[in-house]
C-alpha cells in the first residue's frame, strides 16, 4: 500500500496542472457560451428552457471534447514511459508490486474524470444563476420559474447522464465511466504487448458504450418504449473487470515492456 500511495502522489503531481486547466475550462467556458446564447434575451424575447439553452449553446459538446482531451493526455502519460529515457523499465524494477503501477495510473485517470464531471455540474449551476440573473432584470423577476434548475435536471437527458436520479441510471453512468477508463488503458496495453486480439473486446465494449450513450442522451424520445439498463450496465461492469484482470496479468509477466 505504501508503494501504491507513493506512485499515486507521483501520478497526481504529473496530472495536476493539466487537470486543473481542463476543469477550469469545463467551469468557465460554458458560462461564456451561455452568456452569448442569452445575450438577446429581453422582455419580448422567447425564453427557451434552461436545458434547451444549455444544449443549443454547445456546452454538452464541449464537455465530450474535454473528455477526449483527458483521454489523449492519459495516452500521452503512458507512452511517455516508452519514449526518451524509457522510464517504464525503471517502473517495472521498483521495489513495489507491479499491480501498483497499473492501479496508480488507472485511479488517477478515474479521479480526473470525476473531477471533470464535478466541474461540469458546477458550471450547470453557475450557468443557471447567470441566465436567471438576466431574466430577473425585467418584469420584477416574474419570468423566473420556481425550482427551475431541478426541473431542468428532470427534463434534460444530458444533465441526468452526469447526475442520475435513479439507481439503474446511476449504475449505468458508473459502468460507463469504468469501462471508459479500464477499456482505454487496456487498449494501450494491447498495443504495447502486441496482443492485438484484445482489441476485439475493446471494440465490443465501445459498441455497447456507444449504444447506451445514444440511448441515455435520447431517453425522452424512447419514453413509450423504454428499456432496462441493467443488462448493459452488468455487461459493461463485466468487461471492466475483464480489462482489469487481463491488464494485471500482462503487467505481472512484464509483457508490456
Backbone angles phi, psi at 94, to 5 degrees: -65, 150
What pLDDT is recorded for position 92?
56
pLDDT bracket for residue 241 (50, 70, 90): very high
Residue 204's pLDDT is: 94
How far apart are the C-alpha atoms of 250 and 243, rounded to whole Å?
A: 11
User: CA-to-CA distance for 64 and 43, rounded, in angstroms?
Assistant: 34
Q: What is the pLDDT of residues 140-189, one digit of tens each?
A: 656 666 777 888 898 899 999 999 989 999 999 999 999 999 999 999 88
Q: How confident is the model at residue 9 (pLDDT cuts 50, 70, 90)?
A: confident
Residue pLDDT, tens place only, 37-56:
777 666 555 667 888 889 98
Confidence grade of residue 89 (pLDDT, cut at 50, 70, 90): low
Q: What is the pLDDT of residue 248?
A: 86
Q: Which of 176, 200, 197, 199 is nearest to 187 (CA)?
A: 199
Q: How far is CA 190 from CA 103, 217, 235, 249, 257, in A?
A: 17, 30, 21, 12, 11
Mapped onto helix, strand or coil, the DSSP state of residue 95 is coil
119 versus 4: the higher-pLDDT residue is 119
Averaged pLDDT of the chain: 84
pTM, rounded to two decimals: 0.88
pLDDT of 195 > 80? The answer is yes
Give the rounded percent of residues in the chain with a pLDDT score beyond 90: 44
Q: How many angstroms separate the CA atoms of 124 and 251, rounded?
A: 40
255 band by pLDDT with thresholds 50, 70 and 90? low
| pLDDT in the model for residue 193 | 78
**Cell match 435513479: residue?**
166
Distance of CA 56 to the CA centre of its chain: 21
Amino acid at each position: 500500500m505504501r508503494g501504491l500511495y507513493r506512485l499515486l502522489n507521483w501520478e497526481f503531481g504529473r496530472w495536476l496542472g493539466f487537470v486543473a486547466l481542463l476543469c477550469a475550462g469545463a467551469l468557465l467556458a460554458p458560462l461564456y457560451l451561455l452568456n452569448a446564447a442569452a445575450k438577446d434575451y429581453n422582455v419580448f424575447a422567447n425564453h427557451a428552457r434552461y436545458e434547451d439553452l444549455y444544449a443549443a449553446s454547445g456546452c454538452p459538446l464541449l464537455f465530450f471534447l474535454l473528455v477526449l482531451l483527458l483521454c489523449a493526455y492519459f495516452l500521452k502519460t503512458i507512452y511517455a514511459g516508452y519514449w526518451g529515457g524509457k522510464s517504464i523499465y525503471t517502473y517495472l524494477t521498483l521495489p513495489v508490486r507491479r499491480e501498483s503501477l497499473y492501479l496508480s495510473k488507472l485511479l488517477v485517470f478515474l479521479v480526473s474524470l470525476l473531477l471533470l464531471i464535478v466541474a461540469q455540474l458546477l458550471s450547470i449551476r453557475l450557468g443557471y444563476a447567470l441566465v436567471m440573473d438576466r431574466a430577473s432584470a425585467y418584469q420584477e423577476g416574474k419570468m423566473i420559474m420556481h425550482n427551475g434548475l431541478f426541473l431542468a435536471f428532470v427534463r434534460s437527458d444530458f444533465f441526468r447522464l452526469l447526475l442520475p436520479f435513479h439507481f439503474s441510471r446511476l449504475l449505468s453512468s458508473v459502468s460507463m465511466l469504468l469501462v471508459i477508463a479500464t477499456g482505454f488503458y487496456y487498449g494501450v496495453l494491447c498495443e504495447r504487448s502486441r496482443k492485438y486480439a484484445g482489441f476485439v473486446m475493446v471494440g465490443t465494449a465501445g459498441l455497447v458504450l456507444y449504444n447506451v450513450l445514444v440511448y441515455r442522451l435520447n431517453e425522452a424520445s424512447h419514453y413509450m418504449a423504454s428499456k432496462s439498463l441493467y443488462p448493459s450496465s452488468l455487461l459493461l461492469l463485466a468487461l471492466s473487470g475483464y480489462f482489469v484482470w487481463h491488464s494485471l496479468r500482462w503487467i505481472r509477466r512484464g509483457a508490456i515492456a
